């Protein structure tokens, strides 16, 4: 019969593998869940629209210097 440390190592390995297996199944379950929608804040959206408007106005101007 094999010694006690061998059996302890074997049991520990089985426990670690079972825990790892459970974690992998939990991760797969979490991957299946839909992610929550990413809502932008209205202030952020207003600032973004204002910046786009300013950029369009700036690019629409006639250049002063010849390029």
7-56 pLDDT per residue, tens: 888 888 888 888 888 888 877 776 777 777 777 678 888 999 999 999 99
CA distance 62 to 67: 11
CA distance 19 to 12: 11
The three-class DSSP label of residue 64 is coil
pLDDT score of 19: 87
pLDDT score of 40: 67
Please tell me whether the overall predicted TM-score, pTM, comes out greater than 0.75 for this model: no
Domains of the chain by residue range: 1-33
Q: Is the pLDDT of residue 1 over 70?
A: no
């Amino acid at each position: 019969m094999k010694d006690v440390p061998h059996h302890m190592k074997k049991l520990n390995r089985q426990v670690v593998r079972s825990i790892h297996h459970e974690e992998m199944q939990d991760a797969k379950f979490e991957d299946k869940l839909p992610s929550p929608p990413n809502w932008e804040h209205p202030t952020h959206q207003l600032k973004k629209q204002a910046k786009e408007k300013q950029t369009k106005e700036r690019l629409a101007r006639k250049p002063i210097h010849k390029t």
